[in-house]
Amino acid sequence: MLRKGMGNSSDKPSKKTSLSKSHWKEEINNHLAKISNFKSVYKIYLALHEIYNSPPDGVSKEYWQDKVISALTAQPILNLPKVKQILYSGLISKKADRVIKRKGGYAGARKGSGNNAIANEHYFPRKYVCKQILESSQTLSYDEFVEIWWARLGVYHITTKKENSTLQAHIEKMLKKNKDFDPLNWEKIYSDCKIELIRDTRHSVLEEE
């Protein structure tokens, strides 16, 4: 749930941080190692898409597909470029915002546990985004795959570690209760868990023209 009011912070974003997301994506496109990373993971995705619906003899389709999803979400997806200026939504829970203020910055706030530390909360759970793109009858183009990373697979809000765990547990609980539950409807899930988001004024990226 997003609160329209802005958080209060004296931290000023740097000029470099305030460049547009398009600028940061262009920088990635000019970085050979990062492009090689994307191309390699895209090739893995294509191979896994091809075998997704073809379990070995004696293996259930559900079990096999879960293994294929895990193969994509493990190291391949986890190792894609992590560019905060693109992936961070700029939304932070009120509890996480207080932790950062109390500990004097992001780095210090990451140390600890429960509601006394922060985490990157991937509000489109990677497992279910990967399931979605693997189940599609049509494969993504390379450009579409890269954009899926920037727009869904890699994006995150900042919450406390306890809130992060609460969200994950709620998704798993609801999926067991209701097969039609949508694990990608993050706004509903945040609302159900009573987690309120505000703008993180420490972070600034220019709006696209």
At 57-103, the pLDDT tens digits run 999 999 999 999 999 998 899 999 999 999 999 999 999 999 999 99
Residue 207 lies in a domain: no
Residue 14 is predicted with a pLDDT of 45
| Helix (H/G/I), strand (E/B), else coil: 57 | coil
Residue 205 lies in a domain: no
Contact between 195 and 163 under an 8 Å Cβ cutoff? The reply is yes
Report the DSSP pairing between strands 88-93 and 197-199. Answer: antiparallel
Whether 92 is in a domain gets the answer: yes
Average pLDDT of span 25-52: 88
Task: Say what the pTM is.
Answer: 0.84
Domain count along the chain: 1
Q: What is the pLDDT of residue 207?
A: 56
Residue 57 CA to residue 43 CA, distance in Å, equals 25
CB 161 within 8 A of CB 153: no
Query: Does residue 208 lie in a domain region?
Result: no
Q: Which amino acid is at 65?
A: Q
pLDDT value at residue 146 = 95
Q: Domain range for residue 164?
A: 2-199
Rg (CA), the chain: 19
Please report the pLDDT score of residue 206 as a whole number.
Answer: 55
Integer Cα distance of 40 and 180 in angstroms: 34
Question: The tokens 């559900």 sit on which residue?
Answer: 62
Residue 112, domain member (yes or no): yes
Predicted pLDDT at 22: 75
Give pLDDT tens digits for 135-184. Answer: 999 999 999 999 999 999 999 999 999 999 999 999 999 999 998 999 99
Surface-to-core class of residue 169, CB atoms within 10 Å of its CB (0-12 exposed, 13-18 middle, 19+ buried): exposed
